[in-house]
Chains A and B, each alone.
Chain A
């Protein structure tokens, strides 16, 4: 089945540690996105990528980094510079400009 796979489902980070969240899609979508979701808030855009080897900052990129070496993969690294990383992280992808975004089932990141 085609879809977006995010792993792990739960992740714990220690102080000063970088952690990487995985996002893989087999939908042959060109564009991929990372969002952060906090309780009682909507989704906020962290980074997005329209093509391989290219990505742009979203509204809350500070403390995060991404790479897009393959079309199907868009990993997100939460660095130690992100002081409030506890959140639900969602990855999305879409085929073209006029198509809807499809979401994975998220990774919940917590601080130990």
Chain B
């Protein structure tokens, strides 16, 4: 119940296309769903996040779609650019004894071809 399953493992998209990464969870206690972007040799950086009372959140070219009943959420990158090539992680969070604990998906390596 602590797992977050992420797919696909790798994704190749042409420049200007839409990149879509999917995640699914089982534990309904999760209350915060962030996406992180990681470049080689760097730590993950928060990209966008959503709470389960909202079905969609958009920030620039990045959109999270959230389906609470299906326990799924996805990241859409519109007009994908070569600079978006990175590894993306979804995560789910819940608070245990006052501490936020994040459970991460396995990651998706995204390559945008010019």
Chain A interface (Cβ < 8 Å from any Cβ of B): 4, 6, 31, 40-45, 48, 50, 56, 58, 90, 92, 94, 97-98, 100-106
Contact = CB atoms under 8 A, between A and B. Distances in A.
A40 B107 contact: yes
A100 B44 contact: no
B34 A41 contact: no
Interface stretch (B61-69, B71-79, B98-106): B98-106
Contact of A42 (B32, B45, B89): B89
Interface string B46-59: 10010000000000
Contacts of A97: 95, 98-100
B96 to A, nearest CB: 9
A90 B44 contact: yes
A53 to B, nearest CB: 15
Residue from B4, B43, B102 having most chain A Cβ neighbours under 10 A: B43
Contacts, number: 58
Contacts of B100: 31, 94, 97, 101
Contact of A45 (B36, B44, B102): B102
Given A103-B45, A105-B43, A106-B42, A48 B106 contact: no
A100 B93 CA distance: 10
B105 to A, nearest CB: 5
B114 interface: no
B64 to A, nearest CB: 14
Given A100-B46, A103-B44, A106-B42, A43 B89 contact: yes
